[in-house]
Chain A
Amino acid sequence: MSDSWIQLLEGPSAGEDARLATLHAQLVERAEGRDALDVTYRTVDSPLGSLLLAATPEGVVRVAFELEDHDRVLDALGTTIGPRILRGGHRLDPLASELDDYFAGRRHGFDVPLDLRLARGFRLTVLRHLREIPYGSTESYREVAAAAGSPKAVRAVGSACATNPLPIVVPCHRVVRSDGSLGGYLGGLPSKQQLLALERTAA
């Protein structure tokens, strides 16, 4: 006699995926309601490829390009913020729709609350200043260093931009070299070019 029926116990059952999706959504909702989550996340498609968006209860804490490897970014969030991380929920819906508008040229700034805890010290000062660079314009690394109160810290501005936890939303792409060349970008230079071109045409 064959005992192949035992495999039925070990394998998936009909309709299981749909039930799990429902249960997962309920879990996120209940956990959010009880403040039991460190981070929720989702991905959105954009002209720059898939973007990972992550938020704490305080606000958006991370935006990451595919180039940064979303799984590694999530692992890092687990270490720095906390591992109680789930995909889904509605915390990031406002940012997703603001990004849609931004990439369509209809929006020039972001209104969602931000959680800047991943940046400290001088880097945080730089990020705060970056948010004041107007849509469609650029500043040099040197200018940003001066504005952040440390005119000699040009390289430190570069590393603040390179480690910006909230690219696009905190516009480090508006920082270029004094000679007009692009400098670097954590999402890759083509992305930086694309963002600057978008802002030139939509400004």
Chain B
Amino acid sequence: MKRPFEQAVTEHGAVVLRVCRAVLGPTEADDAWSETFLAALRAWPGLPDDANVRAWLVTIAHRKALDVVRARGRHPVPVAQVPDTTAPAADQPGEALPDRELWACLAALPDKQRLCVAYHHVAGLPHPEVARIVGGTPAAARRAAADGIARLRATYAPHGRVSTHV
């Protein structure tokens, strides 16, 4: 039995928005989210009952993000958006940077790493699912996600907050 589509929006809407934001940046994320759910709504009656709805939605979001990128005819995330790397004031060592900064570092990752981090860490999909979406082997997807996280650790964590009490 196919459940009402509203449940898919309720359960996965936030994750898909985060994925769109990770892949495209905040400005274009809303459009990609809308296109994703409109397309998913149309296709919903034909989706097999045992399908992994989250992976299916992320796959659609991936395609919609590619459409957005193609439409603007340039690199997904302009290099100019790389965040500045000034350290936070030393007198507030425990204060977390706004997560905006983390997302900016994420935006600066190479495409494959950014996609694999988005689909594995943000969407929570296992590496084989990620590989199915981005192409290549599960091992390559795992490596790209790990490389991406290592790079984030280098660009964000040193001057971002590394306090352990989150």
Contact = CB atoms under 8 A, between A and B. Distances in A.
Interface string B117-156: 1000110100000000000000000000000010011001
A83 B2 contact: yes
A27 B9 contact: yes
Interface string A77-101: 1110011111100000000000000
User: Interface residues of B: mostly helix, strand, loop or mixed?
Assistant: helix
B165 to A, nearest CB: 8
* Category for how many chain B residues contact A: 35 or more
Contacts of B44: 83-84
Contacts, number: 111
Interface stretch (B12-20, B73-81, B85-93): B12-20
A31 B38 contact: yes
B17 A30 contact: no
Contact of A75 (B1, B98, B153, B161): B1
A20 B14 contact: yes
A75 B4 contact: yes
Contacts of B33: 23
A55 B103 CA distance: 41
Contact of B30 (A2, A3, A14, A19): A19
Interface in A2-55: 2-10, 12-14, 16, 19-20, 23-24, 26-27, 30-31, 34, 36-37, 39, 41
Nearest to B120: A9
B4 A83 contact: yes
* Category for how many chain A residues contact B: 35 or more
Contacts of A87: 6
Contacts of A16: 14, 17-18
A86 B5 contact: yes
A16 B3 CA distance: 25
Given A5-B160, A6-B149, A24-B13, A79 B1 contact: yes
Given A4-B166, A10-B124, A23 B1 contact: no
A83 B5 contact: yes
B41 A3 contact: no
A8 B5 contact: no
27 contacts: A2-B162, A5-B156, A5-B157, A5-B166, A9-B18, A9-B117, A10-B124, A12-B14, A12-B18, A13-B99, A16-B14, A20-B17, A24-B9, A30-B38, A31-B41, A36-B42, A37-B41, A41-B6, A74-B4, A75-B3, A78-B1, A82-B45, A83-B5, A83-B44, A84-B45, A86-B4, A87-B6
Interface of B: 1-6, 9, 13-14, 17-18, 21-22, 30, 33-34, 37-38, 41-42, 44-45, 98-99, 102-103, 106, 117, 121-122, 124, 149, 152-153, 156-157, 160-164, 166
